[in-house]
C-alpha cells in the first residue's frame, strides 16, 4: 500500500467474497535483496496509476500477485525463494507503471494511526468522526490530526471521504445499484453531499463516471 492511498477491505453487505492480502514493504525488500541496484532505478517521473487493478487490464501483474498469495498459502518446499523472485518481478512490473515514485524507502511507521486506518477501512459506511478515530488511537484530537496528516499526507476526514468515493466508484462501474443506493451504501445521508464529494475527488459527477 502507498502512503495516503485508500484501501477498502470490506465487501458490500449483499455480496459474498473471499479476501487474500499480500502486504509488501518495498523499502525493506529493497534494502535486503536489491541493494546492488541503484535506488534511482525505482524513482521515475510520476504517471497516472490505477490503484484498483482489473485482471483483464493487467493479466501478468495480477497473475503474479495471485501466485505470491498461493505460495504463502501452500508453503511448499523453497517457497521463500520462489516468493522472493515473484516479489522482485512484481516490483519491477509496478515500477513500469510509475507507481513507485516518491516512495520513502526509509519505511516511515504508521503504527500510531493504524487503528484509525483499520476503522476507516472496515466501517467507512458508518458515521465516522475525528473523535472516534482519535479515541481508537488513544490520542487527543489535536495530536491525532497532526500525526495523521504527517503520516498519510492528508487530513483524517479527507481520507474517510476519499475511501467512500473509491468504494462508490467501484459500485458505479458494476451497474447493479442506483446512484441513490450507492450513496447510502457508502455512508452518505444525502445525494447532494455524495455528489459534491464525488466531484471533488473524481472531477466528475457519479453519472458521468458511470458512463465512461
Residues 6+ apart with CB under 8 A from 21: 9
pTM for the model stands at 0.58
Domain boundary, last residue among 47, 62, 95: 95
Residues 6+ apart with CB under 8 A from 5: 51
Q: Is residue 117 part of a domain?
A: yes
- Are 43 and 71 found together in one domain? yes
Q: What is the pLDDT of residues 154-197, one digit of tens each?
A: 899 999 999 999 889 888 988 889 999 999 999 999 999 999 99
Is 201 within 8 Å of 164 (Cβ atoms)?
no
Distance (Å, whole) CA 168 – CA 166? 5
- Are 121 and 205 found together in one domain? yes
Is 117 within 8 Å of 156 (Cβ atoms)?
no
Short-list 129, 159, 133, CA closest to 144: 133
Res. 110: pLDDT tops 90: no
Is 97 within 8 Å of 47 (Cβ atoms)?
yes
Which cell is 56 given?
Answer: 483483464
- Are 81 and 129 found together in one domain? no
Query: Any idea how long the chain is?
Result: 212
Short-list 153, 175, 167, 176, CA closest to 197: 167
Average pLDDT score over residue span 103-127: 74
- Are 125 and 153 found together in one domain? yes
Number of structural domains in the chain: 2
- Are 52 and 122 found together in one domain? no
The pLDDT of residue 127: 93
Q: What is the pLDDT of residues 45-89, one digit of tens each?
A: 444 555 566 777 778 888 888 888 888 888 888 888 898 888 888
Which cell is 180 given?
Answer: 441513490
Is 109 within 8 Å of 25 (Cβ atoms)?
no
Domain boundary, last residue among 65, 95, 125: 95
Q: Is residue 131 part of a domain?
A: yes
Domain boundary, last residue among 51, 67, 95: 95
- Are 191 and 122 found together in one domain? yes
Question: pLDDT band for position 206 (50/70/90)?
Answer: very high
Which cell is 20 given?
Answer: 487474500
Q: Is residue 102 part of a domain?
A: no
Q: What is the pLDDT of residues 124-165, one digit of tens each?
A: 999 999 999 999 999 999 999 998 988 888 899 999 999 999
Amino acid at each position: 500500500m502507498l502512503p495516503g492511498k485508500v484501501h477498502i477491505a470490506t465487501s458490500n453487505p449483499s455480496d459474498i467474497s473471499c479476501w487474500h492480502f499480500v502486504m509488501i514493504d518495498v523499502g525493506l525488500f529493497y534494502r535486503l535483496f536489491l541493494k546492488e541496484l541503484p535506488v534511482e532505478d525505482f524513482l521515475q517521473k510520476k504517471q497516472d496509476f490505477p490503484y484498483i487493478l482489473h485482471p483483464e487490464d493487467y493479466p501478468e501483474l495480477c497473475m503474479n500477485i495471485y501466485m505470491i498469495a498461493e505460495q504463502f498459502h501452500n508453503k511448499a518446499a523453497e517457497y521463500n525463494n520462489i516468493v522472493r523472485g515473484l516479489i522482485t518481478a512484481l516490483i519491477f512490473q509496478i515500477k513500469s507503471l510509475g507507481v513507485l515514485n516518491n516512495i520513502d524507502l526509509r519505511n516511515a511507521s504508521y503504527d500510531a494511526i493504524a487503528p484509525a486506518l483499520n476503522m476507516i477501512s472496515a466501517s467507512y459506511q458508518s458515521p465516522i468522526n475525528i473523535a472516534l478515530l482519535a479515541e481508537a488511537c488513544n490520542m487527543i484530537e489535536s495530536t491525532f490530526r497532526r500525526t495523521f496528516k504527517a503520516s498519510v499526507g492528508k487530513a483524517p476526514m479527507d481520507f474517510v471521504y476519499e475511501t467512500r468515493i473509491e468504494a462508490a466508484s467501484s459500485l458505479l462501474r458494476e451497474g447493479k445499484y442506483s446512484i441513490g443506493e450507492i450513496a447510502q451504501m457508502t455512508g452518505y445521508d444525502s445525494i447532494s453531499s455524495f455528489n459534491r464529494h464525488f466531484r471533488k475527488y473524481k472531477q466528475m459527477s457519479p453519472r458521468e463516471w458511470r458512463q465512461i
